[in-house]
A and B are shown apart, each in its own frame.
Chain A
């Protein structure tokens, strides 16, 4: 690993993002708008936002980061710049970590905004720990990043990349316990949700809001961390210097 290449790459990606005001606005503002909308929907039903809010607080960073990262990486793959980078003295992991660092910083900004909104004006009731809420949201965003990096390997066009969300993320969303508590789901779906990372993200966030850094939340975070590392490593494997 080469720290110089990682930071130069992260800096370059942030410069590219800075030039794209609309994407930046969508990244930072959209999750806040969606969360506000949700709070409004449940305005007349007390307690519901407190029940669903935490899960969404975890899901929004993951989905937005997934889409942005998969498209950005796909552009790098198709524009020829990735091929050129890989002919230079650059490790595959350096490029991926550069991406993770750049979008991780964006995720940090996004998470700070969403959490400030949820805990402040929207009045999400946090009995647990605010610090843990922020931590889980951040890891969720990082997981979105790294899954997006990996996912882009399975797409050859931007149309495909955008639809990967429906393949990689929506199924996880359906079985993660948000719509129905997991014990009430059919057994095969329960088993499937046991091995899907979003389940742990949502559970960690519910724990963080209700209790804080419980033992269960720590286990969840360890699972999420392992998923992030696995996605980066698999992402590096899918980057090939030699192509047909």
Chain B
């Protein structure tokens, strides 16, 4: 089986600045992978490479066995940007229906998604009348419509209340059980324990690529925040 994601010496230049410096990683399908690191470390750029919207990419980015950005991947990769990219002047239902017809999926998919992202009660509300967390869920919902094999989610849980965050992580887990691969970025280290696998990024370099448990035992720490600090110091010493 092809890996869901395979990066070889991925480097990205933005203007005169290199923002990702030679990242190599391989992710097997059916996992929830956390992409962690402080703000500005290159998480979004890496995700943009995977969905094929980043320019000036060097090295190889293979997604589901094909080069990232290949037209046939567009129906198999779902991308949710950090800022909700839905139409604020349409209702939740109108947004979902539009993306459903673009993807060519049925109205039943829309109904399912309304339940998954818990927005049934707000289906006929305009998006600009919703809270930030609700908007984020509309945006997530549109990405779930086509049942993509790879979901790339940029900070999907920011601003959500803890109950909802818990529910979303449970949803991510369930999707992964069903064979979907999820790459979920976060700058909140405590979300790391919900992932099967972690990629830790700092200043455009991969600090670690491990399971949460292995990472804690390797660094001899008890929480991710500490593990991150340990890795940063180790890198500085090297």
Chain A residues in contact with chain B, CB under 8 A?
4-5, 8-9, 11-12, 15-16, 19-20, 79-81, 83-90, 240-244
Given contacts A8-B98, A12-B90, contact A244 B55 (CB under 8 A): yes
Report A16 CB to chain B, min CB distance, Å. 5
Instruction: Tell me which of B51, B52, B54, B102 has the highest count of chain A C-beta atoms within 10 A of its own C-beta.
Output: B102
B94 at the interface (CB under 8 A from A): yes
In the bound complex, CA of A6 to CA of B94 (Å): 16
Report A111 CB to chain B, min CB distance, Å. 25
Report A18 CB to chain B, min CB distance, Å. 10
Chain A residue, CB-CB nearest to B142 = A84
Q: Are A80 and B81 in contact (CB under 8 A)?
A: yes
Q: Are A4 and B104 in contact (CB under 8 A)?
A: yes
In the bound complex, CA of A12 to CA of B14 (Å): 34
Report B118 CB to chain A, min CB distance, Å. 21
Q: Are A87 and B90 in contact (CB under 8 A)?
A: no
- Chain B, residues 71-105, CB within 8 Å of chain A (1/0): the string is 10011010101011111111000100011011110
In the bound complex, CA of A84 to CA of B80 (Å): 8
Given contacts A87-B51, A242-B54, A244-B14, contact A80 B98 (CB under 8 A): no
Chain A residue, CB-CB nearest to B81 = A80
Q: Are A242 and B69 in contact (CB under 8 A)?
A: yes
Q: Are A244 and B86 in contact (CB under 8 A)?
A: no
Chain A to chain B contacts (Cβ below 8 Å), 12 pairs: A8-B101, A9-B98, A16-B90, A19-B126, A80-B81, A81-B86, A81-B87, A85-B102, A89-B74, A241-B53, A242-B52, A244-B54
In the bound complex, CA of A89 to CA of B84 (Å): 20
Q: Are A83 and B85 in contact (CB under 8 A)?
A: yes
A79, A88, A243, A244: which contacts B103 (Cβ < 8 A)? A88
Residues from chain A with Cβ under 8 Å of B142 in the complex: 84
Chain B residues in contact with chain A, CB under 8 A?
14-15, 51-56, 69, 71, 74-75, 77, 79, 81, 83-90, 94, 98-99, 101-104, 126, 142, 146
Dominant secondary structure at the B interface = loop
In the bound complex, CA of A4 to CA of B102 (Å): 7
Q: Are A244 and B102 in contact (CB under 8 A)?
A: no
Residues from chain B with Cβ under 8 Å of A79 in the complex: 85, 87-88
Q: Are A16 and B87 in contact (CB under 8 A)?
A: yes
Q: Are B102 and A9 in contact (CB under 8 A)?
A: yes
Chain A residue, CB-CB nearest to B126 = A19
In the bound complex, CA of A8 to CA of B55 (Å): 29
Residues from chain B with Cβ under 8 Å of A5 in the complex: 101-102
Residues from chain B with Cβ under 8 Å of A88 in the complex: 74-75, 99, 102-103, 146
In the bound complex, CA of A208 to CA of B102 (Å): 40
Q: Are A89 and B89 in contact (CB under 8 A)?
A: no
Report A143 CB to chain B, min CB distance, Å. 26
Residues from chain A with Cβ under 8 Å of B81 in the complex: 80, 83-84
In the bound complex, CA of A19 to CA of B101 (Å): 20
Chain A residue, CB-CB nearest to B94 = A15
Residues from chain A with Cβ under 8 Å of B14 in the complex: 244
Q: Are B87 and A84 in contact (CB under 8 A)?
A: no
Residues from chain B with Cβ under 8 Å of A90 in the complex: 74, 102
Residues from chain A with Cβ under 8 Å of B104 in the complex: 4, 89
Q: Are B77 and A87 in contact (CB under 8 A)?
A: yes
Report A174 CB to chain B, min CB distance, Å. 36
Chain A residue, CB-CB nearest to B77 = A87
Chain B residue, CB-CB nearest to A79 = B85
Report B214 CB to chain A, min CB distance, Å. 33
The 6 closest A-B pairs by CB, nearest first: A80-B85, A8-B101, A242-B55, A89-B74, A12-B98, A84-B85
Chain B residue, CB-CB nearest to A82 = B85
Residues from chain A with Cβ under 8 Å of B15 in the complex: 244
A11, A20, A85, A240: which contacts B89 (Cβ < 8 A)? A20
Given contacts A20-B89, A89-B71, contact A4 B51 (CB under 8 A): no
Residues from chain B with Cβ under 8 Å of A9 in the complex: 98, 102
In the bound complex, CA of A89 to CA of B105 (Å): 12
